[in-house]
Amino acid sequence: MKKNLALVWRRIPQRYRLIGSLCESCNEKFFPKRHFCPKCRRKGKIKDFQFSGKGSVYSYTKVSVAPEGYESMAPYYLAIVKLDEGPLLLAQIVDCEDDEIHIGAKVRKAFRIMNKDGKEGVINYGFKFIIDN
């Protein structure tokens, strides 16, 4: 899965640190970043916002058939996580046993390898979540 380097590199701050956006006009928070507020449009004032990385499971699935580059991690849990600050995002839940995950389970961010570009290419890192019990 040869990926253009810049394609992944330009999202590093968001992926490493959960930097999203805040619209100062309506106080709505966004992850991933938005360049303008879909609600306030031109009246919106967008600035960077650091999410705490705490949230809860909104929905989840155990992925048994994984896409290219993720096969060795399968099966893995993938969840929609509701961040404590409001927005939903999609992330893997790792180090998680079948009886630990349920809708509403508390989770917190972790820093993990997302994929590798073959044996000699770059290693891409990003956020996943772990159960916060």
Partner 1 sequence: MRRVAVIGIGITKFGEHWEKGFRDLVIEAGKNALEDANVQGEEIDALFVGAMSPGLMVGQEHAAALVADYIGLNPIPATRVEGACASGGLAFRNAYMAVASGMHDIVVAGGAEKMTDLDTAQISTVLGGAGDEEWELFQGATFPAIYALMAKRHMHEYHTREEDMALVSVKNHKHASMNDYAQFQKEITVEEVLESKTVSSPLKLLDCSPITDGAAVVVLAELEKAKKYTDTLIEVIGSGQASGQIALHDRQSITQIDATRVAAEKALKQAKVTHKDIDLVEVHDCFTIAEILALEDLGFFKKGEAVKAIRENQTYYDGSLPVNTSGGLKGCGHPVGATGIKQIVEVAIQLRNQAGKRQVKNAEIGMTHNVGGSGATAVVHILKRIK
Partner 2 sequence: MAGICSYGAYVPKYRIKVDEIANVWGEEGERIKNGLGLIEKSVPGIDEDTATMSVESSRIALERYELAFNKSAIANAVFVGSESHPYAVKPTATIVQEALGFSPNVYSADLEFACKAGTTAMIIINSMVDSGKIDFGIAIGSDTSQGRPMDALEYSAGAGSASFLIGKENTIATIVDHYSFSTDTPDFWRRQHAEFPSHGGRFTGQPAYFRHVISATKKLLERTKTTVNDYDYFVFHQPNGKFPQLAAKQLGIPKEKIDLGLVTPYIGNTYSGASMVGLANVLDNCKGNERIFVCSFGSGAGSDAFIIEVNANIRKIRQTEKEYHRLEYYIKRKKYLSYGMYAKHRGKLKGLED
Q: Which residues bind partner 1 (CB under 8 A)?
A: 1, 8, 11, 15, 32, 58-71, 73, 76, 78-80, 87-92, 103, 114-115, 124, 126
Is the Cβ of residue 37 or residue 81 nearer to partner 2 in the bound state? 81
- Cβ atoms of 129 and 88 within 8 Å: the answer is no
CB of 72 to partner 1, least distance (A): 11
Instruction: Identify which of 62, 51, 27, 31 has the alpha carbon closest to the alpha carbon of residue 108.
Output: 51
CB of 32 to partner 1, least distance (A): 5
CB of 79 to partner 1, least distance (A): 8
Collect all residues with Cβ–Cβ distance below 8 Å to 51 and sequence separation of at least 6.
18, 19, 20, 29, 31, 83, 85, 87
Which residue do the tokens 């849990």 mark? 77
16 binding partner (options partner 1, partner 2, none; Cβ < 5 to 8 Å by kind): partner 2
- Cβ atoms of 32 and 14 within 8 Å: the answer is yes
The count of residues in the chain is 133
The span from the first CA to the last CA of the chain, in angstroms, equals 36
- Which range in 21-29, 30-38, 58-66, 124-132 contacts partner 2 by CB under 8 A? 124-132
Is the Cβ of residue 88 or residue 132 nearer to partner 1 in the bound state? 88
Q: Which residues bind partner 2 (CB under 8 A)?
A: 12-13, 16-17, 50, 72-73, 94-95, 97, 110-114, 116, 118-119, 123, 125, 128, 132
